[in-house]
Every structure is written in C-alpha cells, then in structure tokens.
Structure 1
Amino acid sequence: MMLTPVHRFRDIERKPEYLQPEKCVPPPSRASLGTMWFIRDGCGIACAVVTWMLVFYADFVVLLVMLVPSRDYVYSVINGTLFNTLAFLALASHFRAMLTDPGAVPKGNATKEFIESLQLKPGQVVYKCPKCCSIKPDRAHHCSVCKRCIRKMDHHCPWVNNCVGENNQKYFVLFTMYIALISLHALIMVGFHFLYCFEEDWTKCSSFSPPTTVILLILLCFEALLFLIFTSVMFGTQVHSICTDETAAHVYPLRRSSDVIKEHSGRWCYLQVTVRSSVHLCFCWLGFVLTVPPIRFSCCLLTVMSSVEDIRVPTVLHRHVWTS
C-alpha cells in the first residue's frame, strides 16, 4: 500500500528507535582531526593524473611545437606567458578542489547525548544517515564514493577525485573556467600556426618533422575542442546552480508553500556563500591559493529542515552564521 508523505512521517515519528545510537561511535574531537582530505579511489586518482597529463601535453605542444620555433619573439612571449599562467591557475584550482573537504558531515554524531542536546520541541524530528551514522542536515547527500554525507553536494566528480560541495565548489568552478580558457587559447594558436605553416615551409615552422607536427597539432586540437565544450557546459551549470541555490543532487519532492517556507535569498547572497566573503567578491574568486579561513553564512532567513529519503520537515526558522 502506498503511503502519503504525511502517513510516512507519522510512522517515523512513532519509531523512536530510528534514532537510537547503539551502533554509533562518537566523533573524534576537532583537535584530533587532520586537515588533509584525500579520497582513495582508484578511478578518481587515475582521472586526476590524466587531467594533469593532458594539461602538460598541451603545454608541451604550445611551447615546443608552436612558440619556440616562431620568429616573432613578442608573439611567443605574450602567448607563452598567458597560456602558462592559465595552466598554472587551472592546476592550482584542481589541486585545491581535490584536497579540500567538500563539506563532510561529522561521522557518528547521531548519539543519544547529541540528539538530546538539540532540545527538539514536540513534533520535531531529526534523521540520521544509516550509512555513516550521522545526523543528516538539509541539502546533505550521502556519497557512495567518499562514504560520507556532504553538505550541498552537487555531484561526485572523478576528474577532481572528490565531491563538489559547499566548501570546494569555488575551486571547481575556477578549474572549469581556466580549462575552458586554455582550451580556447590553444585552439586559436593552433589555427594561426596552421596558417603560418601553410604559407611558409613546414620544415621551418616547427622543430619536429612535418608529419609529427601535424599529428601533435591535430591531437591538441581534438583535446582542446573536447574540453572546451565539456568545461564550458560544466561552468555554465555550476554558475546557474550558484545563482539559483540548487544543486544537481538536490530535489524538491515536497516543495510547496504548505510544506516548506521558501528561501528568499537573492543571487548575490548565494554567490557570497560560495566565495565565502561579502567584501572584495572578485578578489576572493581569484584568490584561490591564499585564502582567509572560510566563513559560511546566510544573509537571509532560511528554513532548517531534516530529511530522510524524500521527506523534508521544517524544524526551525532562524538566521545562522557559522564557521568551519
């Protein structure tokens, strides 16, 4: 028999054993927690290594095949500096996206003591993730690869070997943007180099033999075109998710005016939450290496809800400011 969300919610309310923490181990203290975050996933590690190798290959072709043999010194210096700067920014953003905690919920915090400390009012309930034994906040989803619940999880990206969540979405957006820029730059330089080689002698426009030069340029062209399309689409979807405060993993099964109170945060607020600062917004987006301690905040009233499967129940309306 199919149960309505209301009946399912009442059934869960009548089962207090759902929150019993017999198998939960209290989380370690923050002092004992390391700052290193790395997912030991073979597929993700391989994809991350391939990403770096593709960037190094593009840099090799741009420098040694196109720019070094060029007779125009100014052209070579300007394009070489620009391409390598963008490549460095892309790899640095990839490194930060891969090694930054995406927003993992503390594991094993669904203990009886912690639940009692929440001082829930009658009729209010919280739910725990049965896989990582943690209290599951709203907009958190369990990742089967990371084996953790991630706050504001968008998706698990094998190319960065990490989930894209509220803590590292900025770095992922920067990574896709820089890869799209160097791909476009490489395509433009390949086009100019082909025109130059057609007008001049092929033996003089490259340090390699003509067949080798053509093969290297064609491979770079395919790589740049493929990743330009892919990263441009990803960049657009990420910016859209930031502006609308929606993630790929976030669904709204009960999103009606009678079920939840809709958030009234504007696009500026969502963008500030992502970049972690309300001041010097553009600088914070570019300052991916040297960043201040992350401060996540909401400048508007939000509904804090608990969830299990497709049930989302409002618990309290408040203004929250917290740091990690």
Structure 2
Amino acid sequence: MSPAHRTRDIERQAGYLKPEHCAPPPPRSGAGSMWFIRDGCGITCAVITWFLVFYAEFVVMFVMLLPARSAAYSLFNGLLFSSLAFLALASHAKAMCTDPGAVPKGNATKEFIESLQLKPGQVVYKCPKCCSIKPDRAHHCSVCKRCIKKMDHHCPWVNNCVGEKNQKYFVLFTMYIALISFHALLMVAFHFVFCFEEDWKKCGTFSPPATVVLLILLCFEGLLFLIFTAVMFGTQVHSICSDETGIEQLKKEERRWAKRSKWMNMKVVFGHPFSIAWLSPFASPDYGKADVYQYIV
C-alpha cells in the first residue's frame, strides 16, 4: 500500500478530524484584497522574471530595431514584440496575484462539519497542517501554507501555486514568454546577418563589442526561456486535457472524478464558450458556483 493510501486510511478514522483542536477560522479578508505570497525566494524569482523581460525589450528596441534602416520592419516587430511582452507580464501578474483556489484556513470546526449534514458512511478529509476540511483533489502547499484545490505545483517564478483558479493565467504566461523568446531569437539572427553584410559601426547605436555582448546575452536568454516555457506550456496543456494535475500524476493517485472530453476540460480552465478571451489575461473564466459537497467523498 502506498504512503498516500495509508494517509487516506488514517484520515477516514472518525477520531482523526478532532474539530475541537481547531481554532475558529480567521476573519476573511475583503473581496477586493489582493492575493500575494510573502516568500523571499518566490519574490526574487518574480523580480528576475520581470527584469529579464525588460532587458529583452531594451535590446530589441534600442539595439536591433531603432538602428534598422526599414521603418516598416522596425514598427511591425516593435509593436508585435512589445504587445506580446505586455501580455506575458500581465499574465504573470495575474498568475501571481490570483487566489489559486485556497481552501478557507481553519474551517475544520465542529460547526462547519455539522453544516455539511453528513450522511452515515460519508467521509471528509482534514488537513492537519492548516486545520481545514480538504475538498477532493486538494493538496497542501508548504510555501503558501494552505490547501489548494486542484493544485498542479508551486511555481517560484510566479511566486504562487498553480491551481484551480489561476491555471489559465499560468498557461498564458508560459505561452507568451515562449512566443517573445522565439521572436527575439529570429530578430537576433536577422540582425547578425545584417551587421555582417554592413559596417558594424552603422548597424547599432552602441559600439560593436557592446552590441555583440548584448545580442549574445539576449540569445542565451531567449533560447533558455524558449525551451523551458515551451516544455512547461506543453505539459500544462496535456495536464488540462487529461484532467490530471502534476501532483496527481506524480503520486499516481486513483481517479475518483468524472471523465470529460479534452475540449470540455479546456473549457473548464479557460471558460465557456470558446472565444478570443481565452488568450486574454484580463478575462476571468467562469468557474460556476462552488458546491459545498465538494468536501465530501
């Protein structure tokens, strides 16, 4: 028997809940309050992410596009790259500052358990770390210090968990970063060809050595982030289509939820029906009404 199954068996014991050991849940913050994890490592990674995007924007605009002879080439690529970079940063901000689906902390009280109106034989799970009643498919995050519904993983680059309510924004973040990385690499290749054919002193506002160093750094950054985010994007899309989170795949948890089509699983994450809003980090998908009996298995 796996450790996960042994843990579940312990949680099924009637005395395991011990609601009398849980303090009343803390008062809920206002609806307009922002979700933010105060983790030093995560904050540092998030700052580095924004810095690298701004660095790429600087090199693209001031090293490659402004010195270019073709105004149409510079205008088209400048608008395209800047738009994708803006969407990438907006997606990152939404993924970082959106509640990923945290279960109310400390709700494993006697009053809350009685409000579930459990029938004989019905079972609920309690998280001993945050003293909350766990919905099915929820897992505890040691960094967020909360149980997260449909938690896929905790990502330090967005300083947040990827869960039920912010997975769309994380997927968009990886997609837009992969796109701007690919776009930057294409422009670097064209710029090197252009500079080899022309005088290096005439193809940049910086000195030739500085231009080469800036382009090489951008090339390494673009290649590294293209590979990383493209793989992550593909992994996330596969996880959504199969309706199985990264943690569930890693732990090989038994499937206890209804099976849906791949297209329906995509609409559960990105919203229904399909529209251009799927690509917008400013459009919140409709998740429907929360079901109180999601806590019962």
User: Quick check: TM above 0.5?
Assistant: yes
Do the aligned residues in 1 keep the contact of 2:11 with 2:125 (CA within 8 Å)?
no
The residue number in structure 2 matching 1:127 is 125
Q: 1:31 to 1:162 in 2, by over 3 A?
A: closer
Do the aligned residues in 1 keep the contact of 2:130 with 2:147 (CA within 8 Å)?
yes
The residue number in structure 2 matching 1:295 is 287
Task: Determine helix, strand or coil for the equivalent of 2:148.
Answer: strand
* Offset at residue 65 of structure 1 (A): 0.5
Normalized against structure 2, the TM-score is what? 0.91
Distance 2:88 2:244 in 1: 25
Do the aligned residues in 2 keep the contact of 1:52 with 1:91 (CA within 8 Å)?
yes
Structure number with higher helix proportion:
2
Structure number with higher strand proportion:
1
Q: Which structure 2 residues correspond to residues 124-163 of structure 1 after superposition, within 5 A?
A: 124-163=122-161
Q: 1:173 to 1:6 in 2, by over 3 A?
A: closer
The residue number in structure 2 matching 1:278 is 272
The residue number in structure 2 matching 1:309 is none
Question: 30-39 or 231-240: which moved more?
Answer: 30-39
State, as a whole percentage, how many aligned pairs show the same letter: 66
Distance 1:297 1:243 in 2: 22
Do the aligned residues in 1 keep the contact of 2:277 with 2:283 (CA within 8 Å)?
no
Determine whether 1:267 maps to 2:267.
no
Name structure 1 gaps, 5 residues minimum.
307-314, 316-324
Question: 222-231 or 266-275: which moved more?
Answer: 266-275
Do the aligned residues in 1 keep the contact of 2:42 with 2:156 (CA within 8 Å)?
yes
Task: Determine helix, strand or coil for the equivalent of 1:241.
Answer: helix
Do the aligned residues in 2 keep the contact of 1:273 with 1:296 (CA within 8 Å)?
no
The residue number in structure 1 matching 2:100 is 102
* Offset at residue 68 of structure 1 (A): 0.4
Task: Determine helix, strand or coil for the equivalent of 2:147.
Answer: strand
Determine whether 1:46 maps to 2:44.
yes
Distance 2:253 2:280 in 1: 39
The residue number in structure 2 matching 1:60 is 58
Do the aligned residues in 2 keep the contact of 1:273 with 1:297 (CA within 8 Å)?
no
Q: 1:85 to 1:138 in 2, by over 3 A?
A: same
Q: Which structure 2 residues correspond to residues 235-274 of structure 1 after superposition, within 5 A?
A: 235-251=233-249, 255=254, 263-274=258-269
CA RMSD of aligned residues (A): 2.6
The residue number in structure 2 matching 1:233 is 231
* Offset at residue 8 of structure 1 (A): 7.6
Distance 1:161 1:46 in 2: 9
* Offset at residue 261 of structure 1 (A): 5.3
After TM superposition, where is structure 1 displaced by more than 4 Å over at least 4 residues in a row? Answer: 1-8, 28-34, 251-254, 303-306
Question: How many aligned positions are there?
Answer: 294
Name structure 2 gaps, 5 residues minimum.
none
Question: 141-150 or 114-123: which moved more?
Answer: 114-123
* Offset at residue 7 of structure 1 (A): 12
Q: 1:232 to 1:8 in 2, by over 3 A?
A: closer
* Offset at residue 291 of structure 1 (A): 3.7
Distance 1:245 1:88 in 2: 29
Task: Determine helix, strand or coil for the equivalent of 2:154.
Answer: strand
Do the aligned residues in 1 keep the contact of 2:125 with 2:295 (CA within 8 Å)?
no
Q: 1:103 to 1:196 in 2, by over 3 A?
A: same
* Offset at residue 12 of structure 1 (A): 5.5
Q: 1:180 to 1:8 in 2, by over 3 A?
A: closer
Task: Determine helix, strand or coil for the equivalent of 1:77.
Answer: helix
* Offset at residue 272 of structure 1 (A): 1.2
